C-alpha cells in the first residue's frame, strides 16, 4: 500500500511508518473523522510525506469532503508519482467530484503502474458506462469482479418496466395523506445520473447516488409556487442494481431509496430519515 521509498527523503521513514500504523486502522474501522484529525496532527510533525496526504485525502473522501480530498491526494501524487494506490484514490476523488476527464486520466496512469487494482477496473467501468461504451464497461466490471469477487459481486439485473413498477408499488403502500401529496410528483428511471443533475448543486453530487428528489419539500411549498417546476423523483437503475445481488435485495434497495427521497419531499432531514431507518 505504501509508496516506493526514496532514499533521499529527509524525513524518518520509521516515523512515517509508525504514523501510518496509527492512522490506517482508524480508516479501516470507519472512523474517518478521527483518522483525519490524526493525519493533520501527524502532518504538523512530518512535513510533506505522501502517506499522510494520502491518509488525509482518503479520510476526507469518506467524510464526503471530496474537493478537499482532491487537493490532498493531488499533493500525495506530486510527492510520489509512481504510487499506484495514491493515483487510484485521486482518480476516485475526481470521479466523485464529477471531473470525469481527470478521473479517466488518473485511472489509466494507476493501471499502468499496477494492473491488478480492482477498484480502478471498477472505476473504468463506471466511466465507460457514463460515456455510453457498454462493451468496455462490461469488460472492466468483469475484471474488477475477477480480481475482487467479494468487493464487486455480480449485480442483480432487472427489466426497466418491472423496476419502475416496484417503485410505484412502494408509493401505493403509503398512507393516503402522503400518497396524495405525491400526486404531482413525476417518477423517472435513468441508468445513471445525468451530468446536469449532478452538477446542478455545489458541490456536485456523487455519480453513484441511488436516487434524487428534485423540487420543493412540502414545508417550502405555498400557493405562490403554482409556477414552479413540478417535483420529480429520479431512480438510477444501474447504481441500485450494483447495490444488490438478488431480487429481494434489489426490491428492498428500491423501496428504501424511494422512501428516502419521499422523505426529502416531506421535509425530513437526514436525522429524521435515520430514525425511520431510511438513511
Assigned domain for 266 exists: yes
Question: How far is it, in rounded angstroms, from Cα 153 to Cα 215?
Answer: 34
CB distance 22 to 38 below 8 Å: yes
Residues 96 and 195 placed together within one structural domain of the fold: no
R_g (Cα) of the chain, nearest Å: 21
Assigned domain for 139 exists: no
Of 97, 18, 7, which is closest to residue 57 (Cα–Cα)? Answer: 97
Higher pLDDT, 186 or 110: 110
Of 33, 37, 30, which is closest to residue 52 (Cα–Cα)? Answer: 37
Assigned domain for 130 exists: no
Q: Are strands 186-190 and 232-236 parallel, antiparallel or unpaired?
A: parallel
Question: How far is it, in rounded angstroms, from Cα 71 to Cα 93?
Answer: 10
Assigned domain for 248 exists: yes
Of the candidate ranges 3-12, 34-43, 206-215, the one whose mean pLDDT is the lowest: 3-12
Q: Find the domain containing 34 and state its range.
A: 13-114
Q: Count helices and strands (H / E) in the chain.
A: 14, 3
Question: How far is it, in rounded angstroms, from Cα 151 to Cα 165?
Answer: 29
pLDDT over 70, % of the chain: 86
Residues 88 and 179 placed together within one structural domain of the fold: no
Query: Model confidence over 207-253: pLDDT tens digits?
Result: 999 999 887 766 555 545 555 567 888 999 999 999 999 999 999 99
Residues 103 and 168 placed together within one structural domain of the fold: no
Of the candidate ranges 51-65, 98-112, 224-238, the one whose mean pLDDT is the lowest: 224-238
Cα-Cα-Cα-Cα torsion 58, 60, 62, 63, nearest 10 degrees, comes to: 170
- Residue 15: all three cell numbers together: 516515523
Domain C-terminal end among 114, 144, 177: 114
Domain C-terminal end among 89, 114, 139: 114
Assigned domain for 250 exists: yes
- Residue 122: all three cell numbers together: 471498477
Query: Model confidence over 171-216: pLDDT tens digits?
Result: 888 777 777 767 778 889 999 999 999 999 899 999 999 999 887 7
Residues 85 and 171 placed together within one structural domain of the fold: no
Terminal CA-CA length for the chain: 32
Q: What angle do CA 142, 149, 132 make, to 5 degrees?
A: 30
Residues 264 and 164 placed together within one structural domain of the fold: yes
* DSSP SS3 for 187: strand
CB distance 257 to 210 below 8 Å: yes
Which residues face 236 on adjacent strands? 190
Extended strands (E) in 49-179: none
* DSSP SS3 for 232: strand
Residues 193 and 255 placed together within one structural domain of the fold: yes
H-run or E-run covering 188: strand 186-190
Domain C-terminal end among 80, 114, 148: 114
- The count of other CB atoms within 10 Å of the CB of residue 258 is 24
Residues 17 and 86 placed together within one structural domain of the fold: yes
pLDDT attached to residue 19: 96
Assigned domain for 27 exists: yes
Of the candidate ranges 19-23, 153-157, 200-204, the one whose mean pLDDT is the lowest: 200-204
Residues 164 and 271 placed together within one structural domain of the fold: yes
CATH code of 41's domain: 1.25.40.10
Assigned domain for 239 exists: yes
Assigned domain for 153 exists: no
Residues 168 and 266 placed together within one structural domain of the fold: yes
Q: Could you tell me the pLDDT band of residue 28, with boundaries at 50, 70 and 90? A: very high
pLDDT attached to residue 217: 67
Structural domains in the chain (count): 2
CATH code of 266's domain: 3.30.2010.20
Residues 110 and 164 placed together within one structural domain of the fold: no
Residues 105 and 170 placed together within one structural domain of the fold: no
Which residues face 24 on adjacent strands? none
CB distance 140 to 121 below 8 Å: yes
Of 145, 132, 271, 279, which is closest to residue 211 (Cα–Cα)? Answer: 279
Residues 110 and 166 placed together within one structural domain of the fold: no
pLDDT attached to residue 278: 46
- Mean pLDDT of all residues in 264-275: 62
Whole-prediction pTM value? 0.88
Using the predicted structure, report yes or no on whether residue 42 has a pLDDT greater than 70: yes
- CB pairs under 8 A, 24+ apart, for 246-252? 246/156, 247/156, 247/158, 249/156, 250/156, 250/158, 251/166
Using the predicted structure, report yes or no on whether residue 67 has a pLDDT greater than 80: yes
pLDDT attached to residue 200: 93
Amino acid at each position: 500500500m505504501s509508496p516506493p521509498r526514496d532514499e533521499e527523503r529527509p524525513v524518518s521513514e520509521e516515523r512515517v511508518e509508525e504514523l501510518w500504523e496509527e492512522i490506517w486502522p482508524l480508516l479501516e474501522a470507519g472512523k474517518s473523522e478521527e483518522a483525519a484529525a490524526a493525519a493533520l496532527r501527524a502532518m504538523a510533525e512530518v512535513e510533506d510525506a505522501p502517506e499522510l496526504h494520502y491518509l488525509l485525502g482518503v479520510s476526507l473522501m469518506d467524510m464526503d469532503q471530496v474537493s478537499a480530498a482532491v487537493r490532498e491526494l493531488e499533493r500525495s501524487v506530486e510527492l510520489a508519482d509512481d504510487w499506484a494506490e495514491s493515483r487510484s484514490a485521486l482518480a476516485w476523488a475526481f470521479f466523485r467530484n464529477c471531473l470525469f476527464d481527470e478521473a479517466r486520466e488518473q485511472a489509466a496512469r494507476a493501471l499502468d503502474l499496477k494492473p491488478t487494482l480492482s477498484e480502478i477496473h471498477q472505476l473504468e467501468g463506471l466511466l465507460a458506462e457514463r460515456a455510453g461504451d457498454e462493451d468496455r464497461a462490461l469488460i472492466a466490471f468483469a475484471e474488477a469482479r475477477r480480481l475482487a469477487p467479494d468487493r464487486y459481486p455480480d449485480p442483480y439485473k432487472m427489466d426497466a418496466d418491472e423496476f419502475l413498477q416496484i417503485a410505484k408499488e412502494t408509493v401505493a403502500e403509503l398512507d393516503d395523506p402522503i400518497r396524495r401529496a405525491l400526486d404531482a410528483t413525476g417518477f423517472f428511471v435513468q441508468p445513471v445520473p445525468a451530468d446536469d443533475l449532478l452538477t446542478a448543486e455545489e458541490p456536485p453530487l456523487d455519480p453513484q447516488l441511488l436516487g434524487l428528489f428534485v423540487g420543493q419539500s412540502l414545508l417550502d411549498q405555498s400557493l405562490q409556487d403554482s409556477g414552479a417546476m413540478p417535483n420529480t423523483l429520479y431512480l438510477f437503475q444501474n447504481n441500485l442494481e450494483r447495490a444488490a445481488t438478488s431480487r429481494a435485495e434489489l426490491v428492498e434497495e428500491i423501496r428504501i431509496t424511494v422512501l428516502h427521497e419521499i422523505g426529502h419531499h416531506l421535509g425530513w432531514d437526514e436525522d429524521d430519515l435515520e430514525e425511520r431507518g431510511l438513511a
